[in-house]
Chain A
Amino acid sequence: MKRYVIRRLLEMVPTTLGVLVLTFLLFHVVGGSPAEVVLGKNATAEALATFDARYGYDKPLLCGNWTAIRALGAFPGGRLERRGETGLSHVPIAYALPAGTYRINAGRVLLGLRESATGAADEAMVDGPAPLTFAVREGWKVSTLDVGGPLPATLRLQKKTDGFLDSQFIRYGRALLTGDFGVSTEHNLPVTRVLKAGVGPSLSLTVPILVGGTLVGVMLGLMCAAWRGGAADKVVLVLSTVLMSVNYVVWVLAGQFLLAFKLRLFPIWGFESFAYLVLPVLIGIVSGLGRDVRFFRAAILDEVYKPYVRTAQAKGLSGGRIMVRHVLRNSLIPIVTYISLSIPFLFTGSLMLESFFGIPGLGNVSLNAIHSSDMAVVRAVVILGALLYQGVNLVTDLCYAWLDPRVRLG
């Protein structure tokens, strides 16, 4: 048992790494610059650079000693005009370069330096084979930049990182290991605090849905299996296909309009008392019922034709007792697997129900984050959901052994 748990935990490592790589690829590589997404197209390069530095997006993606910066980007060096007797060309930079070590692929640079505190100006000339490296001392900034010597087709200015592994990916992995999901750009709060506030409301909505849905589903499934082929079975089967085909959006809107608005049975919107939860829970149960009943019925029917059922009947046990004590017990494994698959969603919440009924849960938080491009929050919910899924899978496998003594772990 212990060895099995350890082995399963080790098996989770590559999958977790996969989840990290996938989310990293999605949010850092495919998504382009988060600064541009959050600040918009009209933001100045300086604002973008400040945003990057603040959230660590100015580091290289995987590893490297140098990282591209926004002050210059890729600039067409050949088109620069040479001026004056120095023979140097003036390079427009988008903002004053702060302290740090820089590298430029030119043979000669003239730096116009300015001390931030006193405003004192200074100049420095660096000569040598391209690329040139120069350092700016603490408290000073580079306000003008002139280059000379043989110029390359594109001028590149890069900043030195704190180390070869000082990259976005390493920082990201390290932060996640310590449980730090970064700062929400929308709320300006640590993501963990934003998420913690959402867990309670989400659970108060999703736990009743899961428990209620499972109970009703299993009861209907048992009923169908007991009277298989009969009228009740057929009606439930047809109804479940119909229920499955109604769009989720429609359930929510119809519930709100007919039950809450027309009949005034429930409050329409809000999260103040228990009454506000009744309608969303009801909708959650009904919308999932079709799929659940069909699955439970199939799982129970797999057992109904087995010889032990006939033995039980021959012993003269009542039909109800056979169904519940014998058949249900044996069909619990697929049922538990099925239920366990929806447990991660208990925490990530129900996007639709929460946003429609104004329940401040995780689903609502993540939907708002998607609308306002708050990457850190979306990323955190995705990762947490994936980790929970794996954890729940492990617990489910352990449950098998408890439910069915024939299952040997290890």
Chain B
Amino acid sequence: MSALIDEKRNGALKGERTVWKKLWRRWDTRLCLLTVGIYCLAATYGEGVYQYYRAADQTAPYNAVHESCRYVPPAFVRVLTGTPAVAGCSLYPLGSDNLGRDVFQRLVQGTRIAFHVGIITSLIAIPLGVILGCLGGYFGGRVDSLVVWLCATVASMPGLLFILAIAMVVGQGLLGVYLGIGLTTWVSVCRNVRGEVIKHRGRAYVQAAQVLGYSHARIMFRHILPNVTHIILIAFSIRFPASVATEVFISFLGIGVQGEPSWGIMINNARLRLWQGVWWEMTFVTLAIFALVLAFNHLADALRDLLDPALRTEQV
């Protein structure tokens, strides 16, 4: 009996390992994986810089104002056009903004915040959706009705406005953004997990575990859950870029993070200078967001094709 259960579980795990191999073998998905890897490194580095200057209680270099170095074009543009370097200014690989702050370093910090938002909102939404979906799908009956009711209620709220309302009510700063996005986006995860658990509920290995007298929690989370992990993986690959995009929008409106260079804040800042011909800040922020979101979207597609062709492109 337990051999049957182990076999089932190992099968699921092995399937996942080959998925990574398959993703690595294709050139397009390999490029996406590499891109995401680079962003991960940037975010980790950004976190290190942030924590270092916070512990030392100094103004971090990405927030340091250099009045004499305002609107310095990117380094490669200066080389191409032969503009002489302004005396006393640092390199500015991607130029400087209206206060002489380094766009490149601010982009790295923006990556840090984007990863915070992407990861923390997923850590709120996915466990919530998985647990509720497992409970509803496994027990059925009243528990299921309750889960379905919760899903229907939250799903009927008007998405972005509800997120903004939560962020407003919780207060300014990132906590409101985390909670706003996290507490509204678990519904699709919950529905998918619930559907899958219902399929597994009647299978032989679940019946075997029930005959062995295992507890409901053990059957749900140790036996069924490993078989639906592909849904979690797909959900993460969809949720992450969506959360990043939403955060950009919220900080752009001035409701999200304060005082830290989030991508949304950088866009809002750059938008005002765009009319004066300062194109670099806008261009590079846009490209940074675009590359990360594109890489994640493409990975999500590939993962979905590999793991669960039946899943439809879902609404965010």
Contact = CB atoms under 8 A, between A and B. Distances in A.
Q: Do A and B come from one complex?
A: yes
Interface string B258-290: 000000100100010011000000100010011
B165 A351 contact: no
A291 interface: yes
A30 interface: yes
Contacts of A351: 160-161, 164
Nearest to B267: A249
Nearest to A348: B158
A249 B247 CA distance: 11
Interface residues of B, number: 43
B248 A247 contact: yes
Given A15-B149, A386-B156, A247 B165 contact: no
A371 B293 CA distance: 28
Contact of A18 (B149, B164, B267, B313): B149
Given A245-B290, A295-B313, A341-B315, A378 B241 contact: no
Contacts, number: 113
B166 interface: yes
Contact of A378 (B155, B165, B245): B165
A352 B158 CA distance: 14
Interface in B31-88: none
A345 B158 contact: yes
Interface stretch (A19-27, A104-112, A397-405): A19-27
Interface residues of A, number: 47
Interface string A190-206: 00000000000000000
Contacts of B123: none
A247 B313 contact: no
B170 interface: yes
Contact of B158 (A30, A249, A334, A344): A344
A31 B169 contact: yes
A30 B169 contact: yes
A246 B249 CA distance: 12
Interface stretch (B206-214, B223-231, B294-302): B294-302
A283 B38 CA distance: 31
B162 A241 contact: no
**CB-based closest 10 A-B pairs:** A385-B158, A18-B153, A245-B294, A31-B169, A389-B156, A245-B293, A386-B156, A15-B152, A348-B158, A370-B168
30 contacts: A18-B152, A22-B153, A26-B166, A26-B169, A30-B169, A241-B297, A244-B297, A245-B241, A245-B294, A247-B245, A247-B249, A249-B252, A250-B267, A253-B274, A257-B275, A295-B312, A351-B161, A367-B253, A370-B164, A371-B254, A373-B168, A378-B161, A378-B165, A381-B161, A382-B158, A382-B161, A385-B157, A386-B157, A389-B156, A390-B156
